[in-house]
Each structure stands twice: as C-alpha cells, then as structure tokens.
Structure 1
Amino acid sequence: MPEAQPSRRALRRISLALPPIQPSLFFSADFGCLFRGLKQDQGNIHEHEVHCSRERSRAASKIIEEYLMPFIEKERYQLPNKCRLHPDYNFYGDQEQHKIHVDINEWRCGYCRKSFYEEKYLDRHFDNRHYDLLNVSQGKCLADLCGALHCDLVMDSVQKKTKCNPAAAVRNKHLCESLADSCFPVKEGPSSSRLHEFFLRQFCDAHTCNGRQKPFSKGRRKRRSIFFIAMSILVLLLLPLFYLFVYLYQRGIRRGTQDLRRVTESTRKKKPS
C-alpha cells in the first residue's frame, strides 16, 4: 500500500510547533567577531582622538629651543616640573626625537626605520602606526601655548598684515605672564628673577596693539652643535701642522737659495782670467 502523505494542515501544525530559526545563525562566528572588532576600533578611535596640532606644537618647541633655552642654560636654571614650558609637556616630543632627516628628500622613522619623501608623510605614519607611544592621558599639548609664544611668526613664511584683536592680545598676554610666574618664580633666587624679567621682555611685552614692542626683542642664541665643536677641535689640531709646513717650506727655499749662490760663486772662481 502506498504511504499516506501528510495533509497540509498537519504540516502547518508541525511547523508551528518547531522553534523559529534566528537569522543570526546563518552568520559565522568569524563574521560576528569581525563586526564587533570594527565597531570596537571605531570606538577606540573616537575615544583616543587627539585635539592637538602637531604643526603648532612643533613651532612652539622651536621657539622655546631657539629663543629661551640658551638663556636658561646660561643661567644654569632648571625648569620646574609644573612649568608648561618643560620639555616633558610636549607629548609629541618623543616622536619628534625619533625623526631622522637623512637627506633633503628622505625622512626616516626612528622606531621602524621606514623612509618617506616628506616630513608630513612621516607625521601621518606616526599618527597611524605609532599612536600608542603617545601619552594622551595627561593632555599635554604644547600648541596651547602658541598664543603666548607668537607661533604664527615662525609658521608663516610670508607675514600677513592682520588687524590686531585687543581681546586676543589681552588674553595672550595674561597667558604669557602666567607662564613667567609659574616657570620663573621671582622668589626662587637671582637666576629665576632675571629669567622672569627676560621672559616678560622677550615674549609678553609684544602682546599689544600699539605696534611698538616686537616679539623676541632680546634676540636668540643658537647653541653650538657637536659638528661645530668637532670642526673647531680639528682646526686647532691642523693649525700647528700648517705652520710647521710653512716653516719647513720657507727653510727649504732658503737652503736652495744658499746652495744656488754657492754654486754660482764656485763657477765664477773656476773661470780662467
């Protein structure tokens, strides 16, 4: 006898009795992990996003190195740790020290030795590959001091004439004076007092709209590089050798002249009368 086929009503009852199949079961665990990883990475990017200009931080660091640190070293003064001009305040500092300028068109990463044609591509490499080396927890952004340190004068190759904003000038001068008070307390001693006065004249007095005072009025002193010191030592070593060579050369000429005179006199005596 042929087998009895189940009726449509029976099949419907069976389908209703079975638990519903979840669509997520069709996705593998790998895809689920991938989606979760992408979502987590996006969250981390927003969580650790840095709102600090690397370019302006570099300009502020350059100003400190050229227009302030030589005078501090002359006074043999140590910046307090709470001072925002302290080298540790720049959390880009370690990455900047790991830049190797090999040639005019070659920059190299000091961490992984990868080379780039321009410095801006090396900066992007730092942001993408070595971001974990930045200490972003303390929020030390040297670019925040650019208003007090006149970073625009260093960053702009062509100076643009802009209308002075009195409110901005007052705000920048207040920031500048607070840096002088925290980094060079007058009561700390003669060196600190002299540097306090120097900082006010060098940076703070120019934050006005009258145009009389100019920033960096005290000038700058470039620190002697290792190359300059090595060349000086080399010149000092070669200078005595040069004088010795000149002395021997002149002595040889004199001897040659004397020998020539002797030969001439001897030939004259040998001639028959």
Structure 2
Amino acid sequence: MKTGSPERARTDAQDAYAPLVARLRAAGCVFAEEEARLLLDAASSPAALDALAARRVAGEPLEQVVGWAEFAGLRILLDPGVFVPRRRTEFLVDVALGLPRPDAPVLVDLCCGSGAVGAALLAAQPDGDLHAADIDPAAVACARRNLPPSRVHEGDLFAALPPGLRGRIHLLTANVPYVPTRDIPLLPTEARDHEPHTALDGGADGLTVARRVAEGAREWLAPGGHVLMEASEAQVPSALGVFEAAGLVARVVESEEWGARVVVGQVSPAGV
C-alpha cells in the first residue's frame, strides 16, 4: 500500500498480505497470492485495499479492479465494465505481425475494446497508421487512454471508420464476439456479469458479427490486405466458409500453446 513513509508502507503491506490471501482464497480465487500482491500494489490506503478486495471477492475481474491488464508485454489501462483482453489473443497479434505488409501500413482494429490489440500492433510497428473502433462508448473511452485518442472511433464496425480508409487497409484485426447466444449463461461469472454482452454474444452460431466483418472487408482492404478473427475450434469450418463466401482467400492458423485459432482472410493482390 502506498501510504505514509516507505517503511510504514512495507509494514502495512506485510501485515495485510496473509489475511488478504486468506480472504481471496475463501472467495475461490485460484491465484490468491499473486492477486493479493497486485491488490496491495494498487491500493493507496488500508481503506482503499478493503474496497478493492471487496470488489474482487464479489466477482469483478481482477484486471478491472486494479485498473490494468497485461497484454503482449504492455500494461493496458482498463475501466470497469470494459471487456478484459484475453492473453490467448496475443496469438492473433503474433499471426497479424507475421503477415507481409508495406512500410507505414494502414492498421485497423475493429471491436477494439480497451485497445489492447491495436496497442500491441502499434508498439511493434510505430510507423503504422492505426485506427480502432468499437460500438460501446465505455470501450471507446478506455481505448482512448491506450491509443492516440483521435484514432479511436465510436460506431458500428466499418461505419465508424473515416471514409478515406476505404480500400486502403493493409491489416484488419477484429476481435469479434463469437460466443453463441445459448452459451452466454455458461460463461464464468466474471465475464457474464462484468463484461458487456456486445463483446461476448456472437448470435445464434457465434458468427453473426464475423459475417458482417467478412462481408465488408473486401471493400475496405487494400489489394493483398488481410483480415483476422478468432474462432472456437467448432466454428473453424463455418468461419472459413464465411470468409470464402465474402470473396476472401481463407485459412486457419492454430496454436496448441495458446489454445487459440485465428482465421485469416486475404483479398487477392490483384484486387479481383
């Protein structure tokens, strides 16, 4: 806890650590020791620590409680009620950065949430012309804390983007919601009760938003440009079909380490 002198702060933290671990463990937090350290670091006083711990015990995601999430080696600022970036989505970033692209490419992150994917892309290619968009005002406000504010747009998918980007995007990532509606009640409480359903619910088969992105991608991508989305294992055949129906050359890249699958679509380099 950051209160009083450094010596007093260390003493207060030591005194609070064991009871906090016990409190978190009793609430079902599997990584209680690590969480306790993060909560202690985030708290400015014993009263603040108690308030943070109460939020965590009540089921709020740890990242929302402490105000940040680790993603691709970055500290992504996070607000309550905003989708928590999943570590497995780092694989989507890795796949995206492994694709050919020109110098100073146009990069777009749709369904950007906190802006984590966009921030990772921009950190790896700071000369990129990055834009991000989300339909959720809370997510947009949060993303503007992690990205250049003027490059974060509020609105529904491509409608949020500056018209001048049409046909110029080299790399389009879209971390679309892909949980089938029927499975939303099966999600962990942290997600179901503390993240916006617009960031989770992908419709009847989980691919409703994916279809809209695929259908618009051909018009917005530059010749040879790529669009990338995550999908569950069961969705991969259908997701490939969605991309192909939209006129994209499609493939899937999988990672056993991350337990993740990324569907990659490409516009023909000739633009046909």
Quick check: TM above 0.5?
no
Bigger radius of gyration:
1
More strand by share: 2
More helix by share: 1
Higher relative contact order (CA 8 A, sep 6+): 1
